[in-house]
Structure 1
Amino acid sequence: MIIDLTHTISPETFVYPGTPRPAFSSTRTLTHDGARETLLQIGSHTGTHMDAPRHILPDGCGLDQLPPSQFCGRAAVIDVSHFAPGSCITAEFLRSQNGYLRCAEYALLYTGWEKKWGTEAFLSEEFPVLDEEAARYLVSCGLKGVGTDAISVDSLSSEVYPAHHVLLGGGLVIVENLCLKKLLGRTDVMFFALPIKYAGADGAPVRAIAEFRDFPEKEMSEE
């Protein structure tokens, strides 16, 4: 079974504060040209998207420099929706989920913000974020990446982006604005998030999907 984890981009799509909204315009039509073609004007971090190390780090690599294997892997889906809005997801909590993380290549954090997509609350309220120690713990797990259903792994009020610096500096990618609710409770998730490949990509929209698989190794557990 294939599950789509991607928000559809439209001119009304919410964007990070300060980022221009998407704009679509027709460049060819069936009536005049015999075919349809659309000019898409979107920021590199619009909708469901992936952050590259280049996004934050002066010498960080772009997504176009990473191998395709970086963009897929077995996922641990971690429910953090019980954390209060604006609170920090701690390393202590993540260590308690070690049974899930030990077999994973991606940690996908369900904050519950997915339910607010398309409402003012998606950006007007603060979502749970990783603290710096939690981000360092995820790096120590040897993951390929971290995903969230919120717009960022750092607070919207942050000016230094500590979780971004730690995760991207540790060689991980970050996937934001995911749809994760359908994956809650699953331990058989293979995650794919394929970014647009353009030169010097600091980030890019992705089509993120999950596939449920029968993995040969021992099932993940909380023990």
Structure 2
Amino acid sequence: MRTLAVGDIHGGLKALTQVLDRAQIAGEDKLIFLGDYVDGWSESAQVIQYLMELSKTNECIFIKGNHDVWCEEWLMQGLVNEVWYMHGGKETIESYNGFSEEQKKAHCRFFEDMPLYHVDDEKRLFVHAGFTSMHGVEREFDIRGFYFDRTLWEMALTMDRRIKKDSKFYPNRLKHYNEIYIGHTPTLNYHKYQPMNAINVWNVDTGAAFTGRLSVMDIKTKEVFQSDTLPMLYPNEMGRNK
């Protein structure tokens, strides 16, 4: 059985199905999605529907991202966050044309059930963005950090790899987990097109919302599977604005 971490999808159903095909997903594979399923390309609602069906054949964990929070608010209360609308929300709302109220309610429940993080038996943490508590995710003061924080990744990037985990200079919040898997901050920001590693943090968001690809990583072997670039798959669309 493989455990696979899946980066931010952002409404790119074509990329999702393509990369899962390239990874040759089998029924015994466990899939951990790192959030931001919606907003960007034109098939956000279709992505959610696909993931709901996929969870019937595979063990799946769906971490909640900031775009998923905004979409859930809209589905539940009709709230249209202005920032969300300008950063992919408009396309997500349009993708729900033709979906019944019952289907929308089912999608809302799907979002409601998403955890904000997951820690497995090998002390590997999966979270959309990050966290700030030196005591670990269980004692995070503001849960918005789980889907908005970038300081975890920024800190990991600046660390000297020669610093060992038992050093007093090693950040306490990193000591709780053997590995940490995140999305949220596209590796395109650093001119990288593959998942990036810094200390014990792996960033699997390779910019599918923009001009990048959707990535899937085997967390044991670190083998990476990728889709084509999203503009190639959606040539008549613009994707999401930063």
Higher helix share: 2
- Higher RCO structure (Cα 8 Å, ≥6 apart): 1
Q: Same fold (TM over 0.5)?
A: no
TM-score range, shorter chain: 0.3 to 0.5
Higher strand share: 1
Q: TM-score, normalised by structure 2?
A: 0.30
Q: TM-score, normalised by structure 1?
A: 0.32
